[in-house]
Structure 1
Amino acid sequence: MTVPTVLAVIPARGGSKGVPGKNLSPVAGIPLVARAVRACLGAPAVTDVVVSTDDPAIADAARAFGAEAVRRPAELSGDTASSESAVLHAMDAFEATHGRAADVVLLVQCTSPFITADEVDETARRITEGAADTAFTAAPSHGFLWRETSGNGAGATGVNHDKAHRPRRQDREPEYLETGAVYAMAAHGFRTHRHRFFGRTELVVTDPARVLEIDDPHDLARARALAPLLDTPVTPTAGDIDAVVLDFDGTQTDDRVHIDADGREFVSVHRGDGLGIAALRRAGVPLLILSSEQNPVVAARARKLRIPVLHGVDRKDLALKQWCDEQGVDPQRVLYAGNDVNDLPCFHLVGWPVAVGSAHDSVRAAARAVTDTPGGSGAIREIAAWLLGPELTIPEPRTS
């Protein structure tokens, strides 16, 4: 039996008036475009994933997360260009490159950050299994809709109900809200009709709690706040990481400072963190302590741990980028652990931003993973266990 070619197309323009750089904006440490790519790649029915974009940075992000990128021409990249036109162009480019036609095409919007692989898969299967010509994700609603009537003195009128009759929720059949997240179409019919709806259309019912479209900065803020509640927790493994960079205050300490009568500062660190760092060092993982504080305590701790340190740094993200360049490390394969808002620029640079359990709420929201352990209480030991295993089995050192 021939497996149908199911092509998922993710339109992702570089320009956005409501949220500049929207499609590269991270939610839980992952750019929106990459979240959509990840959902599509996780759907068994999907055979190919393409991001249609006019922006080289978006194309790079798409490729980094495993998708192909199709350069969209300027005439299809403006505010008035339809999503259908971008999908048709991506289909042409895909078929010219691969020499095979798509049987089913999906339109997947990266502005819906909580798309799941199951939703993508089910929407595609409605077409591949012959149940429908088109399908889309929709959320059930029992809401009463109203319309304001102007000019005739009638006031507001009910749209989906008689305002004189208010049935209970359990007595009403649900209506369905188009989520805007995933659409699937039989490819031949889509080429013929040049529209996402034709023939028999079916709904793929989704969880209303996961429905959010990002159109303005407030939507993006809500997505970041909801991500720790809606995303499946993930932690990196050794295969995901090429280097580990650690903040100091509040990450390797509990963020408290003890000062004696002579003004000397003392901090508390955790022996378990030292064990974890030693295990990572022996495993050959490049390590760095990066701190904005110019403090002899930081330097002394780095010497004790036998790892390099950059401290007294005003722009931690620039220092981190330079260090990555010098080490020949892709920032997308760097784990950066931090706890406070001055770590956020570094979070936006690396592929694995990690917040310690005691981190500021905004830092936790921006993290791709969060430790159970607070800073200064063994959080780095926990991170080392993610990478090396809970027993911190120390492999042979890496060889070049």
Structure 2
Amino acid sequence: MKKLKTIAIIPARGGSKRLPNKNLLPLNGIPLIVHSINYAKENNIDKIVVSTEDRTIKDIALKNNVEVLDRPKHLAEDNATTVSVMKHVLEHNKEIFDTVILLQPTNPLRPVNLLKEALQKFKEGNYDSLMTVTRNHQKFGKIVHDRFEPYNYNIGQRSQNLEPLYYENGLLYITKASLVLENKILGENNHPFIVNHPFASVDIDTKEDFEYAAYLMKRHFE
């Protein structure tokens, strides 16, 4: 099997409205962004690039011996898309990569073997892309004209008998570089890689999210 040349992209803006400077907050004594940097280093990726417009984030990334690409102002605004940031990284690298791995700093906790197993699945299946998903066991419904209408179950149905529904957990994405250059993260031949692990519920946007991540980290690593 041909070895695919991989690049891990870690997009890290300086601004955050709900949790100021969240990418710099110390989680278990380590800045949030460094958890994703360390995870990439542990997985033998050919190149790791942090994309940021923030000087402090840049300095931390450089101190951790990864490349930093200065992000232009228009890609650091609220309406900038993740794929546009990824494309910017690819277009400003002299090297050619087959595969892009997206690691978001807001998902700092990942099962140890997740990336290794996901990459193997991606290669063996010859997929265009791969995304991590997790099963949701909640009973969902809609409110229509002040009435609750069940969406994925019947009233009285047991939770264990629900039709499986999954959510995009954001732990990682793997995609062909050629897709990113077409402004796409996921292709038509996309594989949903199921991760049923407590870490999948962590996506840090608020102080409560951060505190929950700290709790899980202490529980699993101490």
How far has the Cα of 1:184 moved from its partner?
Answer: 0.9
1:188-234 residue CA offsets vs partner (Å, 9 max, x unmatched): 12323x12122211122223411211111121122222211123x4x
Q: Hey, what does 2:210 align to over in structure 1?
A: 220
TM-score where L is the length of structure 2? 0.91
How far has the Cα of 1:117 moved from its partner?
Answer: 4.3
Gaps spanning 5+ residues in structure 2: where? Answer: none
Q: What are the equivalent positions in structure 2 for 1:88-167 lying under 5 Å apart?
A: 88-94=87-93, 96=94, 100-149=95-144, 152-153=145-146, 155-163=147-155, 166-167=157-158
TM-score where L is the length of structure 1? 0.52
Q: Hey, what does 1:329 align to over in structure 2?
A: none
How far has the Cα of 1:131 moved from its partner?
Answer: 3.6
Q: Secondary structure at the match of 1:14?
A: coil
How far has the Cα of 1:7 moved from its partner?
Answer: 0.8
Q: Hey, what does 1:54 align to over in structure 2?
A: 53
CA separation in 2, counterparts of 1:167 and 1:228?
Answer: 33
Q: Hey, what does 2:184 align to over in structure 1?
A: 195
- In structure 2, give the amino acid aligned to 1:184: I
How far has the Cα of 1:168 moved from its partner?
Answer: 5.0
Is the alpha carbon distance of 1:173 and 1:32 closer, same or farther for their aligned partners in structure 2, counting shifts above 3 Å?
Answer: same
Q: What are the equivalent positions in structure 2 for 1:16-35 lying under 5 Å apart?
A: 16-35=16-35
Q: Secondary structure at the match of 2:138?
A: coil
CA separation in 1, counterparts of 2:99 and 2:77?
Answer: 26
Q: Is the 8 A contact 2:86 2:180 kept in 1?
A: no
How far has the Cα of 1:104 moved from its partner?
Answer: 0.6
Q: Which 4+ stretches in 1 moved above 6 angstroms?
A: none
Percent of aligned positions with the same letter in both sequences?
A: 27
Q: Secondary structure at the match of 2:181?
A: helix
Q: Secondary structure at the match of 2:35?
A: helix
Q: Hey, what does 1:64 align to over in structure 2?
A: 63
CA separation in 1, counterparts of 2:6 and 2:187?
Answer: 18
1:157-185 residue CA offsets vs partner (Å, 9 max, x unmatched): 1222233x51451x445322211121111
Is the alpha carbon distance of 1:168 and 1:19 closer, same or farther for their aligned partners in structure 2, counting shifts above 3 Å?
Answer: closer
Q: Which structure is larger by alpha-carbon Rg, 1 or 2?
A: 1
Q: Is the 8 A contact 1:144 1:160 kept in 2?
A: yes
CA separation in 2, counterparts of 1:84 and 1:36?
Answer: 18
- In structure 1, give the amino acid aligned to 2:3: V
Q: Is the 8 A contact 1:103 1:188 kept in 2?
A: yes
Q: Is the 8 A contact 1:54 1:71 kept in 2?
A: yes
CA separation in 1, counterparts of 2:116 and 2:67?
Answer: 19
CA separation in 2, counterparts of 1:61 and 1:124?
Answer: 27
Q: Secondary structure at the match of 2:130?
A: strand
Give the length in aligned residue pairs: 221
CA separation in 2, counterparts of 1:55 and 1:104?
Answer: 26
How far has the Cα of 1:118 moved from its partner?
Answer: 2.0
Q: Give RMSD over aligned pairs.
A: 1.9
CA separation in 2, counterparts of 1:172 and 1:147?
Answer: 16
